[in-house]
Copies of this chain bind each other. A is one copy, B any other.
Amino acid sequence: MPGTQQSTTPTPAAAYTPTDRTVPTRAAHKASYDKELVHSILDEGYVCHLGFVRDGAPVVLPTLYGRVGETLYVHGSTGSRPLRMADQADPGLPVCLTVTHVDALILARSGFHHSINYRSVVVHGTAYQVTDPEEKRLALDALVDHVVPGRSQDSRPANNKEFAATAVLRLDLTEVSAKTRTGGVNDEPEDLTLPHWAGVLPLRKGYEAPIPDGDLAEGVEVPAYIRAM
């Protein structure tokens, strides 16, 4: 209402600020900096590809991740390479973390217009070892809950030995972009009469029926949060 005192709480920015690294050289219309879109892509996945530089050469490793607000966490053994490197690096380890979902194959009449529908997020930044024990516990829960929501409350938390053997890296979501391709076939008009089938082949998603471990304690049933997946 006019004249009404507005809240002074700043509205969180709805988009990441594009940078030289997050503006693609091509197909810029497929790029987005929308935080909601970025979060939805990140939250649907749990395996990322983490890139870092070792002896001047790139290394790309698949690893699990979790998100808490505007922070991503990855974890690993304290002995694993990127986690040791981040520990020794000052001020942190430059990384690129990428998450990709493939949604469909696009079969065009021309080889050139073959494509895939996908949604990807690329995060550039510096990864730091999490040293605060409380943040580390939250991160480990987030990593489990990112794969199976609710699971951290229905499993034994890390004991001291496990906690000490696990290293966690944090990477803030500041330099971030999403890229998506949706829709159908984009053939050239003059190709439409070619005798080749064209269309979309959607990927099957989800999970098969859960396979219980052979040594389950008596009376333990598949929990609702797993059936819901």
A interface residues (Cβ-Cβ under 8 A, vs B):
21, 24-26, 46-47, 49-54, 56-62, 64, 76-77, 79-81, 84, 94-98, 100, 102, 105, 107-112, 114, 116, 118, 120, 122, 124, 140-141, 144, 147-148, 151-152, 154-159, 162, 166, 184-185, 187, 191-208, 210-217, 220-223, 226, 229
Contact = CB atoms under 8 A, between A and B. Distances in A.
Nearest to A141: B111
A199 B194 contact: no
A60 B221 contact: no
A60 B200 contact: no
Given A62-B100, A79-B26, A111-B152, A202 B195 contact: no
A128 to B, nearest CB: 16
Nearest to A185: B213
A51 B47 contact: no
A146 to B, nearest CB: 11
9 closest A-B pairs (Cβ-Cβ)? A51-B58, A51-B60, A49-B49, A62-B100, A112-B162, A198-B213, A51-B51, A60-B98, A202-B208
Contacts of A204: 204-208
Contacts of A140: 111
B80 A111 contact: no
8 contacts: A21-B54, A50-B60, A58-B94, A61-B98, A110-B155, A112-B156, A156-B194, A200-B211
A142 to B, nearest CB: 11
B201 A226 contact: yes
Contact of A94 (B57, B152, B203, B220): B57
Contact of A229 (B46, B94, B201, B212): B201
A197 B211 contact: no
Contact of A157 (B80, B111, B158): B111
A211 to B, nearest CB: 4
A114 B208 contact: no
Given A47-B102, A192-B217, A197 B223 contact: yes
B53 A57 contact: yes
